[in-house]
Structure 1
Amino acid sequence: MPIYNKLVRDQIIEIIDNTGKKSNSMILSSEDHLDFIKEKLFEEVEEYKATTNKVDAIEELADILELIHAALQCENSNFEELDQVRIIKKEKKGGFNKGIFLIDVVD
């Protein structure tokens, strides 16, 4: 019997039940939910890092985006607020589009 002990998508338990298998799960507290979202983000970023093609990359980025939406809800925020902060930071410091790699800064 595999033991997962991890945050899963909202319909996974129903999907497991529909296969005739049984599972054990629980609903996390708000604090634990956010902690496990943060943990799951690391997992998904590692999976994205390991991708070797566009289809898999987009799939993993979609998982990361879904976790960002869930984290925003836990933070009592929304994607619009997040995007406003992103835009302000981009205006002040730029984005990551040019591929600039800082090696060092000489005093």
Structure 2
Amino acid sequence: MTEEFDKLVRDEVPRIIEQNGETPITHSAEGDKYSERLDEKLAEEVTEYLENGEVEELADVLEVLHAIREERGVSLESLRDKRRQKAERRGRFDEGIVLERVER
């Protein structure tokens, strides 16, 4: 029996599949294709988190974000600086403020 996936997976998944006595068929995405696959994976993981709210899914979102950061050549420190700068300019999300409308 064959099951189709056609999605980016963590590096150890093929080995785990083999340990289960199955044969994974894989290839490596590179360049723009890798970038596209990372974006698709981010959407998948965010959807899974939104569906069940589990911390494990949030960890998956973070893992994909770090892969995107690395693929785009952005250091962790640079990303932290950007986050801090934006928080200083526009705030964080600590107060739960919901903008209903702007009247003119």
How would you bin the TM-score normalised by the shorter chain? over 0.9
Partner of 1:90: 87
What is the CA deviation profile of residues 21-61 of structure 1, one whole-angstrom value per residue up to 9, with x for unaligned ones?
Answer: 01110011121111111111111111111115xxxx21011
Q: How far apart are residue 81 of structure 1 and its match?
A: 1.0
Summarize the alignment of residues 1-107 of structure 1 with structure 2, pairs less than 5 Å apart: 1-52=2-53, 57-107=54-104
Q: Residue 50 of structure 1: SS of its match in structure 2?
A: helix
TM-score, reference length from structure 2: 0.94
TM-score, reference length from structure 1: 0.91
d(CA) in 2 for partners of 1:26, 1:8: 11
d(CA) in 1 for partners of 2:43, 2:94: 22
Q: Which has the higher contact order (CA 8 A, sep 6+)?
A: 1
What is the CA deviation profile of residues 50-85 of structure 1, one whole-angstrom value per residue up to 9, with x for unaligned ones?
Answer: 115xxxx21011101100110011101122111110
Letter in 2 for 1:88: Q
Name structure 2 gaps, 5 residues minimum.
none
d(CA) in 1 for partners of 2:75, 2:13: 24
| Misfit runs of 4+, over 3 Å | none
RMSD (CA atoms): 1.0
Aligned residues of 1:69 and 1:78 also touching (Cα < 8 A): no
Q: How many residues align?
A: 103
Name structure 1 gaps, 5 residues minimum.
none
